[in-house]
Amino acid sequence: MTTAVRKRLEIRNAVPSDVRAIQRLIERAYPGMPGYSPATLRGQINNFPEGCFVALYDNKVVGYCATMRVSKAMAFSPHDWEEITANGFGTRHSAAGEWLYGYEMAVDPRQRGLRIGQRLYDERKELAEQLDLHGIVIAGRMPGYARAKRRVGSAQDYLDGVIAGKLRDPVLSFQLKNQFEPLGVLANYLPEDKLSGGNAAHLVWRNPYVDPDEAPEMRVPRGVESVRLATCQLQARAVEDFEGFVRNIEYFVDVAADYRSDFIIFPELFTLPLLSFETKKLSPAEAIDRLTTYTPRLTKELARMALEYNVNIIGGSHPTRTDDGDIQNVAYVALRDGSVHAQEKIHPTPNEAFWWNIKGGESLDVIQTDCGPIGVLICYDSEFPELARRLVDQGARMIFVPFCTDSRSGYMRVRYCCQARAIENQCYVIMSGNVGNLPNVDNMDIQYAQSCILTPCDLPFARDGIAAEASENVETLTIADVNLADLSWARAEGTVRNLRDRRFDLYHIEWDNNLANHSHTPSGGPVPAGGHNSPGGG
């Protein structure tokens, strides 16, 4: 009889659930440098999962490395860390890139004797060989330079001394031993790296199995990664009780499941019909307070339906009282694995703030699903381009926008902004709105909607950038198949390449870490924390 032996040391691809452990590892590995936010690490993994690896020793993360694919021009031209990594998110990864670029490597200082760094570099080399890439480019730290600067002179002189064997550097000597060739020094590559004086050694490893003189043929395969989306344009109607409201919602969940949809989205404030059976007239403040009492029952029902019907549900939005007593407009996302996630509306409209005293949220992050990471922007939030960009930097390829508008002009503001978000982020945007009216409910006098599924405007997609749309102001379910692989093609080889072509040498978006770490958590479910983007090492 054979006995199974458990592996003590394992190298595997990193997954989003590793983020917290990786964050702690980098804090140990680089105690004098700023750490990563969870959002940035999620972006690294989601943007190129095949290129991110963790080393586990006794099931604890003790090593991590991140890579992306880039063009030769990008890899070999002068650059700094922030510019080439898209402020750490790895969003400039290109599926057509012929070179691997390594931009993070961290090893637990308590486990240096296990050759974890060597093993991670071997994984990078194996990946380059499997993908028939020309090789690997890195910007290696030079942590011995600051101490030797007065004696040796410039960073280039220090690099030359290490190459000649006259000096030893704990990182650079290791990389040279691993067959990396020096190209020169990248000045001001990582200012936070004081030990290296902000400099990095520009290094290359060339794949021996690829002819360097052969012109690259790195066309992105037009594969199929199909996702079926359903958007519900919901008629506002009076109901007799909470159970009656749930039956109305469950009907559309059932239909979407019959069509084997992966997602169904409902409109913003889709729970307002719960006010229709109140026995007395409520003031706006009383009405919104009453709605918040349904939060636990609502999230329980959404979770039940997602499990029973095997469909991911974006539950529009619902007013929710947070732990500190404020009321926020929150979208609850129930996944078919049984989990429930919450995304708060960041920007309340003037109407929401005045009549209902709704406060804005402080956290915005992707939600991991079985179809990849997604984002949710509630109505007005879609009109702020920084928010969609943050979600896409974290790897979102689909952004769901539940909305509630009373006029055509209000609807068109949301519609035009959603189309812009799809184009500038090369992603899909799915809109869902209310129609009809609730005469006895404030803010539901009239509604205007034309729910739709929007695409980038490029060759693989619908001619007018609309995968499907509902008729105006009619209750219906609109369904369309989208191909996520088309987004990979567009980002790498499209007519325009908005994500990759951003000028990180001129600008980037910074998220306030202090606010994100003190966000108001809705009592109905967890909201992932956001964070500031901070560089690690090469």
Catalytic residues: 268, 345, 379
- Residue 101's Cβ-count burial label (10 Å; 0-12, 13-18, 19+) is buried
Sign, CA torsion 253/259/260/266: negative
**What's the rounded Cα separation, in Å, for the pair 342 and 323?**
14
Token pair for 190: 């990582």
- The three-state DSSP-derived secondary structure of 143-197 is CCHHHHHHHHCCHHHHHHHHHCCCCCCCCHHHHHHCCCEEEEEECCCCCCCHHHC
CB count, 10 Å around CB of 229?
A: 24
Nearest to 200 by CA among 167, 164, 175, 166: 175
Contact 107, 538 (CB under 8 A): no
Can you tell me whether residue 384 is helix, strand or coil? coil
CB count, 10 Å around CB of 510?
A: 9
For residue 233, the one-letter residue type is Q
Token pair for 242: 């909470």
Q: Among all chains, which residue has been given the structure tokens 């917290």?
A: 20
**What's the rounded Cα separation, in Å, for the pair 128 and 228?**
33
Contact 40, 534 (CB under 8 A): yes
Contacts of 514 by beta carbon, 8 Å cutoff, 6+ apart: none
Nearest to 20 by CA among 497, 531, 535: 531
**What's the rounded Cα separation, in Å, for the pair 416 and 168?**
58
Nearest to 537 by CA among 153, 20, 107: 107
For residue 520, the one-letter residue type is H
Do strands 135-140 and 428-436 pair parallel, antiparallel, or not at all (unpaired)? unpaired
Contacts of 300 by beta carbon, 8 Å cutoff, 6+ apart: none
Dihedral angle over CA of 47, 42, 28, 535, nearest 10? 60
Can you tell me whether residue 298 is helix, strand or coil? helix
Q: Among all chains, which residue has been given the structure tokens 């936010």?
A: 37
Burial letters for 113-150: b for 16+ Cβ neighbours within 10 Å, e otherwise? ebebbebbbebbbebbeebebbbbbbbbbbbbbbebee
Token pair for 425: 């982020």
